[in-house]
Amino acid sequence: MDLATLLGLGLAVASLFISLIMEGGTLASLLNPSALVLIVGGTLGATMISFSMRDVTRLPSFLSQAIKGAEPDTRGIVEALVKCAELARKEGLMGLENKASTAPTPLMAHGLELAADAMDPEQVEMILSAEIAERQRQAKLGAEIMETAGGYSPTMGIIGTVMGLVHVLGNISNTEALAGAIAVAFLATFYGIAMANLLWLPLGGKLKQQAKQQKVTDEVVMEGILAIIQGTSPRLVRDKLETAAGLRAAPAVQKKAVLSGGEAVAERKA
């Protein structure tokens, strides 16, 4: 599991229960199984209406992806591309064919196969760009499903509370139990808001962030493949890819840092 996800979820839930205990409440006071059934079932049902069955059945895999939060090994991918550039320099593009099977990502494997087939760089760019766009669409789909569920969840909570109040007010003759029954009715709203803001919306945001990171990595792969096809030197391939991946400061930033350091030294000497 991604450490930030684990710590964030633990901190949020712990803060919630600690505040409850500080107010003199008990964990038992937050239990309302019927409200929980309505919130979970109603939220999932409304979300299923909004998307196709094919998309909804992928929700477990989207949840797993968001919770695990595996970041792409951009540094390892850059190193693999540099080695491919060195191999292409020695053996030509045909030598890349065997490298495709050991490529760290499916996109890189496909790109190496296209390069080994001596395809035109423009065609390779078009094919890989289409593949990147589809990968982004799939990644954003998971975030969209979770954000939709996060929008429905509080509304289902309100529906549950209204249903509870209708039931309570329909039996208003027992005034002594009225306050407790109303409190239980409002648990539905609590469940809906808590699930939206502790589960659906944060995990949807996590998937969006993962999609951004994946896009950067995919574009680095595409740029590396195109550079290899064009016969770019391995050293230049490394420089370009490390800069594109944010693994090193851009030349202008480095120059500015050097100048700033020189000015600081001059001031100390003065």
Separation CA 228–CA 87 (nearest Å): 10
pTM of the predicted model as reported, rounded to 2 decimal places: 0.80
Q: Which of 62, 138, 144, 107 is nearest to 223 (CA)?
A: 107
Residue 201: the pLDDT is 96
Phi/psi at 51 (5° precision)? -130, 170
Question: What are 101-134's pLDDT values in tens digits?
Answer: 899 999 999 999 999 998 899 999 999 999 999 9
Angle at 148 between CA 146 and CA 154, to 5 degrees: 100
Residue 253: the pLDDT is 46
* Angle of helix 201-229 versus helix 59-68 axis, rounded to 10: 80
Q: Which of 180, 154, 158, 156 is nearest to 168 (CA)?
A: 180
Residue 199 Cα distances to 118, 173, 259, angstroms: 48, 39, 47
Burial class (CB in 10 A: 0-12, 13-18, 19+), 65: middle
Separation CA 113–CA 196 (nearest Å): 44
Percent of the chain past pLDDT 90, that is, above it, reads 62
Question: What are 217-263's pLDDT values in tens digits?
Answer: 999 999 999 999 999 999 999 999 999 998 875 455 444 444 444 44
